[in-house]
A and B are shown apart, each in its own frame.
Chain A
Amino acid sequence: MSALLEVEGLTAGYDGVPVLHEVDLRVPAGTICAVLGANGAGKTTLLRALSGLVRPSAGRVVFDGVPMGDVPTERLVRRGVGHVPEGRGVIEELSVEENLMLGGAWRLGWSGLFGSGRAGLRRDLDEVYQLFPPLRARRRHPGHQLSGGERQMLALGRALVGRPRLLLLDEPSLGLAPRVIAQTMALLRRLRDETGLTVLLVEQNVRSALSIADSGVVMSLGRVVATDDASRLAADADLRHAYLGF
């Protein structure tokens, strides 16, 4: 199986202090890969390095066969990479609908919302509203009025409007009720099965993540300490005790 995302020897950090050390990762197209580990393991930094928000000091990132080394963050969404950042990144001052439109705004030109791209964007927004009906009811509300669950829907919906092939998700379960977490995970599984979406899923909620993931990597102190099928990781009691705390 060819990998959509290949990471080799990725080293990155802040102000010259490395946080990630020679991370290797392969995510085949149409699969979900869970990135697990305790606080401070470097999971968020890994996603930020993949998005170019942190510049790697060494290593290679290849997406769909193309090296991504010098591709600026602004260009990634055009290549098919969506990133839902830590804390979800809902823009508080913009309405729900404006947040969603922004997700697809890269396909529009200057005038955009008047012009030819508008009909296509409208359809994408309708699809998101079908996926998350509460968002339709809230479409005129500013982002800062949303609940945690609604923010999650908005962040995920906004990323989907961008039509990604690879979705980088940073702790989608954080602060959500168990029922909402289950719904989110079920949705990710459905998107993978029905649309072939590839997901790199950073999670502290190990059980939920492994329940839908195909593969997983366990990180500790900026290094990958285990890579395996999700089912085998879930069954490895020693690993769970040592790094995942259950």
Chain B
Amino acid sequence: MDRFLFLTVDGLSHGAVYAAFALALVIIWRGTRIVNFAQGVLAVATSYLAYTVSGRSGSYWLGFAAALVAGLVLGAIVERLVMRRVENAPPLNAVIVALGLVLVAQGVLGMIYGNQYLPFPAPFSRSAMTVGGVPLLSHFDLFVLGTVLLLMLVLAVLFTRSATGLRMRAAAFAPPVARLLGVRVGRMLTLGWALAALVGALAGMLVIPTGLGLHPTAMDTVFVSAFTAAVVGGLDSPVGAVVGGLLVGLVLSYVAGYLGAGTTPLAVLGLLVVVLLARPAGLFSGAQARRV
């Protein structure tokens, strides 16, 4: 029972990061109908920047802030310079371009920083606090959960309560109508990518300290888990992304804890297959609105 509790808390902590990363995928999917396969490597790039800034300045938080700002800028640049050219092309073009971006960026990062794992510290202790004799969650887990919760609140308010969020949703759902109503659709798409890359950068800062360290491929497995989470949630639904993320986190934690870490890739795939068989549109697609 103690082990179950520990695995649950650990799963939720990881799941929160998957949820954030999945949310970033959903933001871009809703705006451009593109799955951003380059999202993992963008988050790695911003984490490397944090590594450099923290190393030079000696301040973890300066590096943290640099990663978030860099995410915002990098997302906008990638949309404007690269993805805009394939936004109206067949879907496969965007996939190929994004995968190309992954190869180039991983190569460049490897050339700059080397292809070995670099130590990437957590800002808080990662050793679990014991509650009633049971080791439960660490200060870092609390930081992760709190940060992701705050992120979700901010995004929810932005999208549902602000004029910019309303414009972004209109641009995503009905671009020509949005233009007639004065929404600059192109600008909203850029903003969506910037926002998604910011969320990705944050997720990178939260998850890389729990792995082997910083490496050009450090986010690859996280991307697979988050992608599964987003698809499980329905790709179109922010709430679905969050629930999907937590679900994937829990499943992976239980599987790794009871069956061994080697089986987790299979578990991710299994979860994806089961959900797609039972509800092909995802758990939270709801009554799909008709597109006319």
Chain A residues in contact with chain B, CB under 8 A?
51, 53, 73-78, 83, 85, 87, 89, 91-94, 98, 101-103, 105-106, 108-114, 117, 142, 144, 158, 162
Contacts and interface: CB of A to CB of B under 8 A. Distances in A.
Contacts of A89: 174, 176-177, 180
Contacts of A73: 179-180
B163 A113 contact: yes
Contact of A76 (B163, B167, B180, B289): B180
Interface in B244-292: 289-292
B161 interface: yes
Given A76-B180, A77-B181, A77-B182, A105 B290 contact: no
B258 to A, nearest CB: 41
B184 to A, nearest CB: 5
Interface residues of B, number: 24
A92 B290 contact: yes
B2 to A, nearest CB: 45
B170 interface: yes
B166 interface: yes
A113 B182 contact: no
Query: At the interface, is chain B mostly helix, strand, loop or mixed?
Result: helix
Nearest to A73: B179
Given A108-B163, A111-B163, A91 B182 contact: no
22 contacts: A53-B179, A73-B180, A74-B179, A74-B185, A75-B182, A76-B180, A76-B182, A78-B182, A89-B180, A91-B173, A91-B174, A92-B173, A92-B290, A102-B166, A102-B170, A102-B181, A105-B166, A106-B183, A111-B163, A112-B162, A113-B166, A158-B181
Contacts of A113: 161-163, 166
A172 B178 CA distance: 19
Given A74-B183, A74-B184, A89-B180, A105 B291 contact: no
A118 to B, nearest CB: 9
B52 interface: no
Contacts of B184: 74
A94 B179 CA distance: 16
A52 B88 CA distance: 19
B164 interface: yes
B292 A106 contact: no
Contacts of B289: 92-93, 142, 144
Contacts, number: 90
Interface string B178-195: 111111110000000000
A78 B179 CA distance: 12
Contacts of A93: 169, 173, 289
A165 B194 CA distance: 36
Contacts of A77: 180-182
A83 B178 CA distance: 11
B254 to A, nearest CB: 35
Nearest to A109: B163
A150 to B, nearest CB: 15
A6 B110 CA distance: 61
A111 to B, nearest CB: 6
Nearest to B169: A94
B292 A105 contact: no
Interface string B208-223: 0000000000000000
Given A93-B169, A105-B182, A111 B177 contact: no
A74 B182 contact: yes
What are the nearest 8 A-B pairs in CB distance? A112-B163, A106-B182, A77-B182, A89-B177, A108-B163, A92-B289, A144-B289, A73-B179
Contacts of A87: 292
Nearest to A89: B177
User: Which of the listed residues B182, B289, B290, B291 has the most CB atoms from chain A within 10 Å of its own CB?
Assistant: B182
Contacts of A103: 181
B157 to A, nearest CB: 9
Nearest to A87: B292
Contacts of B167: 102, 105
Given A87-B292, A117-B163, 7 more contacts: A53-B179, A101-B163, A102-B181, A105-B181, A106-B181, A111-B162, A112-B166
Nearest to A92: B289
A103 B292 CA distance: 20
A89 B175 CA distance: 10
Contacts of A74: 179, 182-185
A111 B165 CA distance: 9
A71 to B, nearest CB: 12
Contacts of B185: 74
B154 to A, nearest CB: 13
A98 B166 contact: yes
A117 B178 CA distance: 19
Contacts of A91: 170, 173-174, 177-178
A162 B177 contact: no
A158 B292 CA distance: 19
